[in-house]
Amino acid sequence: MVEKTKIAVLVSGGGTNLQALIDAQRAGDIKSGEIVLVISSKPDVYALTRAADAGIPAAVADRKLLGSQAAFERTLLEFLSESKIELIVLAGFLSILSEDFVKRYPNRIINVHPSLIPSFCGDGFYGLRVHEAALNYGVKVTGATVHFVNEVTDGGEIILQKAVDIKKGDTPEVLQRRVMEQAEWKILPRATELVSAAIAKEKEKLLKEQNKK
């Protein structure tokens, strides 16, 4: 039997998307993969408490303390390598990963973005800025997208999207919450399972080919 896909979740803040993944794993909605590591780019964030409460090992790669992008990514790679990570899920992870880093994990890094890509995405669009832009533009529908990560910010292949209506009187904060509840927390676990299952299938195929030799 093929082992479950080993997942690392990368975070930078409160970890609401991490919690959605933990809850989905507990409910059996994520069954082809297992979260075996949480890495935070900042110390003392609540996401680390969520990981501890769920009994998931966690590590900190402090972006400011490490000083350079190269040192930061070197530390990340060490953590990922030690835990034999096969899938990386960016869940509110606010550090941009270099092209060099991304190329080490082709189609093995996924990210959730709080808009319907290609709207309100790319460099500079993160957090409340995305929702402010949607409201300023006057769109009637927004949502969230889970996509593979490549060298272009928010530019990788789309895995899943879910639309969310914008309501009269919405503030960026109110809209952010609705997009999380109605879209992000639903499609991120679903996409994580889809990609985990694909990786597990790939491993099974390789194992069968090796056994034939």
Q: Where are the domains of the chain?
A: 5-212
Q: Which helix (H) or strand (E) holds 158?
A: strand 158-165
Mean pLDDT for 111-127 is 93
Q: In the structure, what pLDDT confidence band is assigned to residue 207 with cuts at 50, 70 and 90?
A: confident
Percent of the chain, pLDDT > 90?
85
User: In this predicted structure, what is the pLDDT of residue 1?
Assistant: 65
Q: Is the Cβ–Cβ distance between 9 and 58 less than 8 Å?
A: no
Token reading at 23 = 């809850």
Mean pLDDT for 183-187 is 97
Percent of the chain, pLDDT > 70?
99
Mean pLDDT for 92-100 is 90
The residues annotated as belonging to the active site are 113
User: In this predicted structure, what is the pLDDT of residue 90?
Assistant: 97
Task: Summarize pLDDT for 20-60 with one digit per residue, the tens.
Answer: 999 999 999 999 999 999 999 999 999 999 999 999 999 99
Farthest CA pair distance, the chain: 65
Task: Summarize pLDDT for 134-147 with one digit per residue, the tens.
Answer: 999 999 999 999 99
Report residue 35: phi and psi, to 5°: -75, 110
Residue 15, sorted as left (phi over 0), alpha (psi -120 to 50) or beta, turns out to be left
Angle at 120 between CA 151 and CA 179, to 5 degrees: 110
User: In this predicted structure, what is the pLDDT of residue 94?
Assistant: 86
Q: In the structure, what pLDDT confidence band is assigned to residue 204 with cuts at 50, 70 and 90?
A: confident
Q: Is the Cβ–Cβ distance between 94 and 128 less than 8 Å?
A: no
Q: Does domain 5-212 have CATH number 3.40.50.170?
A: yes
